[in-house]
């Protein structure tokens, strides 16, 4: 099928390239001329494993093209996906300016009946609103609207697209439902469940899925604090509850709080949506609070652990100390630092008088722009050299595989606060490293 994809941000580019890869003819549209020129040469503006190959192969097969000309693209196709940004506005609501502008442009450019698919994450009611905009600005033509949320994880997006758990589609007519079934026919043929529903339900499925996963993360983080306080072990706890199929093992790893461009934004937007619908979600409101309390609590934990390890009192222990932060991206395999733990933890440490050097293989540059007074590097040894303490925030493979028996000598004092539980507390004790992680007592302490 011939499809236009409006927006070549993270979602639009991955979806466009992957749809091209499975045989559709995709025209990706973006008003950013330099981005489109770079994409035409196969240059990918984001770090996403495997995406460069999918883009290059699809360009070579002729299935993927790029343009800045929205009108020409709309004229050439019957189905248009809107995959533009819906960033949070100052009040936490999603800013729909770009979605509405795209709808208006599509309506004006239309040369016949069109199916318009909303891929961007949008509050309930947006697809109907887009339908009204299309009708108003393109009154000579027939428009059908569909909602088709994405469930792609950054760092795993290509694989998630190719191996989906389900396809969710909300439609307003048989025509748009049939078009969506055609687009995803390959997956239905592989028995991937196809959830076909109305527009509102589809929009809400996206928010509910992210909110539920965020709740799991917030829950296990609270449990890890409780484990710390009681001598229980959060990893055994995760396994012990996760093996119950009704709970499931995924998303039960404690960490420095959920971050990224989706969970923080979507949980907040869902609480506002629920309040406005007079059906407030106390659970999601608590999840949002729990996540921000968790990271602040970890800030205190770092300072206290350092003070104990260095034999200082709790009054300003970090003054003039050099702290290496390993991992600045909000999770591994991405260069994204939006709502990353590093953007909260590093400023907290700096505010308490520490100098912070952050290491990340992909996100160092972005962090330098986003975090005042941080120094960053892509050379891990440079970060570790002379550090009074190390704080681990991201589970990059090369951080996970550090051999501390070798790297320890670079440190001024062997103090490590591991907020991803990447290392074995007993081994760290054997290396005489002062080591703190989340919810894990030494097994030597087993009672």
Residues lying near ligand UGA in the complex (CB under 6 A) = 121, 150-154, 210, 213, 217, 251-253, 255, 258-260, 262-263, 330-331
Q: Which residues contact 226 (CB under 8 A, 6 or more apart)?
A: 232, 439
Which listed residue (18, 127, 227, 262) is catalytic? 262
Query: CB-wise, 215 or 433, nearer to ligand UGA?
Result: 215
Query: CB-wise, 21 or 265, nearer to ligand UGA?
Result: 265
CB 321 within 8 A of CB 353: yes
Task: Note if 227 is an active site residue.
Answer: no
Token output for 21: 């890869």
Minimum separation from the CB atom of position 116 to ligand UGA (A): 20
Query: CB-wise, 134 or 417, nearer to ligand UGA?
Result: 417
Minimum separation from the CB atom of position 41 to ligand UGA (A): 27
Closest by CA to 418, choosing from 437, 443, 434, is: 437
Minimum separation from the CB atom of position 11 to ligand UGA (A): 7
Burial class (CB in 10 A: 0-12, 13-18, 19+), 128: middle
Minimum separation from the CB atom of position 141 to ligand UGA (A): 31
| Phi, psi torsion values for 278, nearest 5 degrees | 60, 35
Query: CB-wise, 176 or 210, nearer to ligand UGA?
Result: 210
Long-range contacts of 376-384 (CB under 8 A, 24+ apart): 376/328, 380/326, 381/407, 381/410, 382/357, 383/324, 383/325, 383/326, 383/357, 383/358, 383/359, 384/324, 384/359, 384/410, 384/411
Query: CB-wise, 66 or 330, nearer to ligand UGA?
Result: 330
Residues 337, 366: Cα–Cα separation, whole Å: 7
Minimum separation from the CB atom of position 309 to ligand UGA (A): 25
Q: What residues are labeled active site?
A: 262
């Amino acid at each position: 099928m011939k499809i236009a994809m409006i927006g070549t941000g993270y979602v639009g580019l991955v979806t466009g390239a992957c749809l091209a890869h499975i045989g559709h003819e995709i025209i990706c549209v973006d008003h950013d001329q330099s981005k489109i020129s770079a994409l035409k040469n196969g240059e990918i503006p984001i770090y996403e494993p495997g995406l460069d190959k999918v883009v290059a192969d699809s360009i070579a097969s002729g299935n993927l093209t790029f343009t800045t000309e929205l009108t020409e693209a709309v004229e050439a196709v019957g189905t248009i996906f809107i995959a533009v940004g819906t960033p949070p506005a100052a009040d936490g609501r999603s800013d729909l300016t770009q979605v509405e502008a795209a709808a208006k442009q599509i309506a004006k450019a239309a040369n016949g009946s069109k199916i318009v698919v909303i891929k961007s994450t949008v509050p309930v009611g947006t697809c109907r609103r887009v339908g009204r905009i299309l009708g108003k600005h393109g009154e000579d033509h027939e428009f059908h609207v569909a909602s088709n949320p994405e469930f792609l994880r950054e760092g795993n997006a290509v694989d998630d697209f190719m191996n989906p758990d389900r396809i969710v589609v909300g439609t307003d007519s048989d025509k748009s439902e049939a078009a969506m079934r055609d687009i995803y026919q390959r997956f239905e043929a592989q028995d991937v469940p196809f959830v076909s529903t109305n527009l509102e339900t589809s929009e809400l499925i996206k928010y509910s899925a992210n909110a539920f996963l965020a709740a799991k993360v917030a829950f296990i983080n609270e449990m890890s604090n409780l484990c710390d306080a009681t001598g229980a072990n959060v990893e055994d706890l995760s396994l012990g509850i996760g093996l119950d199929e009704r709970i499931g093992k995924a998303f039960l790893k404690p960490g420095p709080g959920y971050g990224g461009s989706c969970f923080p934004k979507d949980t907040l937007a869902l609480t506002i949506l629920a309040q406005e619908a007079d059906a407030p979600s106390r659970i999601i409101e608590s999840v949002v609070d729990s996540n921000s309390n968790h990271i602040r609590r970890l800030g205190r934990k770092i300072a206290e652990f350092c003070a104990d390890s260095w034999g200082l009192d709790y009054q300003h222990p970090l003054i003039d100390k050099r702290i290496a932060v390993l991992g600045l991206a909000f999770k591994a395999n991405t260069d994204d630092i939006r709502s990353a733990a590093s953007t909260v933890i590093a400023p907290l440490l700096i505010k308490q008088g520490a100098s912070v050097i952050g290491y990340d293989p992909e996100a160092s540059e972005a962090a330098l722009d986003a975090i005042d007074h941080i120094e960053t590097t892509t050379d891990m040894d440079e970060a570790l050299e002379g550090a009074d303490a190390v704080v681990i925030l991201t589970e990059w493979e090369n951080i996970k595989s550090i051999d501390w028996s070798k790297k320890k000598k670079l440190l001024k004092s062997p103090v490590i606060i591991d907020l991803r539980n990447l290392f074995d507390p007993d081994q760290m004790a054997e290396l005489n490293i002062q080591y703190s992680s989340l919810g894990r007592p030494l097994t030597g302490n087993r009672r």
